[in-house]
Amino acid sequence: MGAPPRHRLRAGAAIALPLAILGLLPAFAGAQTAEGPPPTPVVVPGGGTSPSPFPQVLHTPPPSSEPPQIDATSAVLADLDTGQVLFSIEPDAERPIASVTKIMTALLVLRRTDPTERVTVSARAAGNGRSAGISELGLEVGERIKVDDLLYALMLQSASDAAIALAEHVSGSVEAFVALMNRTAKQLGMRHTRFASPSGLDDDGYSSAADLVTLNRAAEQIPGFSSITATRFHTIPAPEGEPARIVQNRNVLLWLYPGATGVKTGFTSAAGFCVVATAERDGLRLVAVVLGEPGEPFSDAAALLDYGFTAFGLRDLLARGQAMGTVDIQGRPVAVAAGAAVEGALVPVDHRVRITVLVRPGVTFPPAVGGSVGVVELSVGGLRIGRVPLLVAAVPGPPPPDDPGPWWRRACSSVAGAVGSLVDALFG
């Protein structure tokens, strides 16, 4: 869909954070611009810091069937199950994505390891005694820690030292893992993506909102991914003699937005504030990607999700084999039908669906029954809802011979035709 003007109307409902959580999450003191300095790190329960904002309310307009006005440089709202795009702003723009990079890291780790495997922390992962970044778990050299604990640290607390440890465990080195990340991106069809690290921390990697929808849909197919990203807190054992480490999810939509299920936040000065957010209501699963926000990204993500749940509904639009009338092929009418069903499509409410039958150029007569001669497209305005093959249902027989026969046969036929028409007129 076309991009709305990029200013926000903030006069809307504010959803309060539960009181039990308010004491744990300090208020976010003012929005930062993408060009300005990063915000002051926020201490989270159990130790560690967060560069992400922790607002106590969401500022969103009332749910509406009109697209929201958002501040993001790039954004996409899509059906998580089908990938159908419901809204977009600069969906293919190549932008730094900060710690959202860790979705790809988690995908590869889940594909290539067992959660119970033990990882031995290297000097590089532990930072050689120095911080691996503003977001870290605090790993120690030689520490033995389970893969799943590192995944929780990676996706909840955005621990960059966990990203390094997991990358080395999977591929032997960070560099080999980054190469694997880029091969996988290419295999997934992510045409506007290049990774430079497993963490996304101040590197020159980039992606696009549309590519991140593709990545997240692939990750959601892997057992364990969605349960990790939906977790609010996780306790991780520490080396002997030290207190357990508690990691907290930085995606505050898990507290603030009804139906939120994940997924990942990110921030650097170059990337701005970023979030990939998923939610489910009444069987409908949506994903919103917000990149390059000058301030907290959660309100815009929530506004997009509200729009999806309010403005769209699931409908069955086309049955397999449904008759599509006839099309002209070299001057002859040919009966055609839909080659597949379009079921459970997300359709804007109170809008009529347009069905267009398109015959492929160069089709010759007679086409084979059951063969494809084109496509059936379903759309609402400029939004494509579905596209299925157009199949031949029946082919007419050969035309009558050119020889008209003797004059008396033509005369009898004319009389019979006139009588038939008269009967139809009187009794039909």
* 276 lies in the same domain as 141: yes
The answer to whether position 139 is within a domain reads yes
Tally of domains in the chain: 2
**Torsion over CA: 251, 254, 258, 263 (sign):** positive
What pLDDT, on the 0 to 100 scale, is given for residue 208?
98
Of the residues 314, 343, 373, which one is the last residue of a structural domain? 314
- CA dist 341 to 73, 82, 316, 355, Å? 36, 14, 8, 13
Domain hosting 236: range is: 13-314
**Torsion over CA: 217, 219, 223, 228 (sign):** negative
* 164 lies in the same domain as 286: yes
Query: CATH code at 156?
Result: 3.40.710.10
* 347 lies in the same domain as 308: no
* 217 lies in the same domain as 180: yes
For residue 223, cis peptide bond before it (omega within 30 degrees of 0): no
- CA dist 242 to 192, 237, 245, 255, Å? 44, 9, 9, 29
Instruction: Please choose, from the candidates 323, 46, 48, the residue with its C-alpha nearest in 3D space to the C-alpha of residue 161.
Output: 48
The answer to whether position 378 is within a domain reads yes
The answer to whether position 408 is within a domain reads no
* 291 lies in the same domain as 389: no
Q: What share of the chain is helix, strand, coil (3-state, %, to 5)?
A: 25, 30, 45
Q: pLDDT tens digits for 238-249?
A: 998 889 999 999
Give the confidence band of 18 by pLDDT, cuts at 50, 70, 90.
Answer: very low
The answer to whether position 148 is within a domain reads yes
Q: pLDDT tens digits for 277-317?
A: 999 999 999 999 999 999 999 999 999 999 999 999 988 99
* 29 lies in the same domain as 133: yes
Give the confidence band of 406 by pLDDT, cuts at 50, 70, 90.
Answer: low
* 127 lies in the same domain as 176: yes
Question: Which residues are known to be catalytic?
Answer: 99, 102, 158
* 309 lies in the same domain as 345: no
Q: Above pLDDT 90, what percent of the chain?
A: 69
| Residue 30 to residue 135: CA distance in whole angstroms | 20
The answer to whether position 274 is within a domain reads yes
| Residue 106 to residue 103: CA distance in whole angstroms | 5
Q: pLDDT tens digits for 75-134?
A: 999 999 999 999 999 999 999 999 999 999 999 999 999 999 999 999 999 985 444 445
Residue 348 forms beta bridges with which residues? 312
CB atoms inside a 10 Å sphere around CB 380: 16
Residue 356 contacts by C-beta under 8 Å, 6 or more apart in sequence? 376, 377, 378, 379
Of the residues 264, 281, 314, which one is the last residue of a structural domain? 314
Question: At CA 176, angle to CA 171 and CA 182, rounded to 5?
Answer: 110
* 117 lies in the same domain as 199: yes
* 297 lies in the same domain as 162: yes
The answer to whether position 6 is within a domain reads no
Q: What are the backbone angles phi and psi of residue 95, rounded to the nearest 5°?
A: -135, 150
Query: 104 vs 31, which has greater pLDDT?
Result: 104
* 297 lies in the same domain as 347: no
| Residue 65 to residue 174: CA distance in whole angstroms | 46
Of the residues 314, 337, 367, which one is the last residue of a structural domain? 314
Give the confidence band of 272 by pLDDT, cuts at 50, 70, 90.
Answer: very high
The answer to whether position 411 is within a domain reads no
* 184 lies in the same domain as 41: yes
- CA dist 135 to 88, 154, 235, 267, Å? 30, 9, 17, 11
Q: pLDDT tens digits for 154-182?
A: 999 999 999 999 999 999 999 999 999 99
The answer to whether position 413 is within a domain reads no
CB 161 within 8 A of CB 125: yes
CB 254 within 8 A of CB 265: no
